[in-house]
Amino acid sequence: MRRVLTFALLAVWHLANGQEVKPSGSFLSDSTKIGEELLYSLSVSYPEDWDVVFPDSLYDFSPFEINAKDYFFTKTEKGISFDSAVYNISTFEIDSVQYLGLPIFILQDGDSLRLAASRDSIVLNHVVTQIPDSLALLDNTVFRNVPLQFNYPYLVFGLSTFIIILIIVLLVFGKQLQRKYLLYKLKKAHGKFVLRFQGILSQPEYHFEHTLLEWKKYMERLEKWPYTKLTTKEIASLNEDKFVVKALMEIDKAIYSTRAADKVEDRFSDLLSYCDQRYNSRVEQIKYGTSN
CATH number, domain containing residue 184: 1.20.120
State the residue range of the domain holding 87: 2-124
| Residue where one domain finishes, among candidates 107, 124, 141 | 124
Which strands sit side by side in the sheet containing 31-32, from one edge to the other?
Answer: 31-32, 120-124, 97-100
- Name which of 87, 79, 80, 27 is nearest 55 in CA terms: 87
Sign of CA dihedral 11, 12, 16, 21: negative
| Residue at 157 is within a domain | no
CATH number, domain containing residue 101: 2.60.40.10
CA 227/CA 258 separation, integer angstroms: 25
* pLDDT tens sequence across 150-204: 888 888 999 999 999 988 888 887 788 888 888 999 999 999 999 998 888 888 7
- Name which of 221, 275, 216 is nearest 243 in CA terms: 275
* pLDDT tens sequence across 123-155: 999 876 666 667 677 777 777 888 888 888 888
CB atoms within 10 A of CB 234: 12
Number of structural domains in the chain: 2
* pLDDT tens sequence across 87-124: 999 999 999 999 999 999 999 877 889 999 999 999 99
| Residue at 135 is within a domain | no
| Residue at 150 is within a domain | no
- DSSP code for 118: P
CA 174/CA 203 separation, integer angstroms: 44
| Residue at 139 is within a domain | no
Kindly state whether residues 20 and 118 are assigned to the same domain: yes
| Residue at 164 is within a domain | no
Kindly state whether residues 49 and 113 are assigned to the same domain: yes
The reply to whether the predicted model has a pTM over 0.75 is no
Provide the strand spans (E) within 111-237: 111-116, 120-124
Amino acid of residue 65: E
- Is there a contact between 232 and 248 (Cβ–Cβ < 8 Å)? yes
| Residue at 16 is within a domain | yes
| Residue at 158 is within a domain | no
